[in-house]
Amino acid sequence: MVAAKKTKKTHESINNRLALVMKSGKYTLGYKTVLKSLRSSKGKLIIIANNCPPLRKSEIEYYAMLCKVGVHHYNGNNVDLGTACGKYFRVCCLSIIDPGDSDIIKSMPSDH
């Protein structure tokens, strides 16, 4: 029970941080651009939805491992992640290039 409560609270905080990034920072949405941002080493944090196909998830994680960039597995599917980004479409993976005012990058790696 304690674990469930903790995930709800941190889940909301991730959503808040994501909203701040959408407003003030730079990001890209979608698999192709996520890989592009990893190849050019511009991505600082990758967020993957939980219903991402496992092969694609492993591929993004492998690229992120080569690049030493953190990956956060979002607690929700691509519909939820799209809503969290304030978009009306589904987002399976996104890459944060510049967090703006948000502290998502500083707080996320400790959490994972």
Partner 1 sequence: MVKFLKPNKAVIVLQGRYAGRKAVIVRSFDEGTRDRPYGHCLVAGTKKYPSKVIRKDSAKKTAKKSRVKCFVKLVNYQHLMPTRYTLDVDLKDVVTADALQTKDKKVAACKATKERFQERFKTGKNRWFFTKLRF
| Binds partner 1 by CB under 8 A, chosen from 69, 85, 91, 104 | 69
Please report whether residue 44 would count as binding partner 1 according to CB under 8 A.
yes
Backbone angles phi, psi at 97, to 5 degrees: -95, -40
| Binds partner 1 by CB under 8 A, chosen from 7, 16, 24, 41 | 41
Reported in sequence order, the residue ranges of the chain that DSSP labels E, i.e. its strands, are 26-29, 45-48, 70-73, 93-98
| Binds partner 1 by CB under 8 A, chosen from 19, 20, 67, 79 | 67
User: Which helix (H) or strand (E) segment is 108 a member of?
Assistant: helix 104-111
Q: Which residues sit at the interface with partner 1, rule CB under 8 A? A: 35, 39-41, 43-44, 59, 63, 65-69
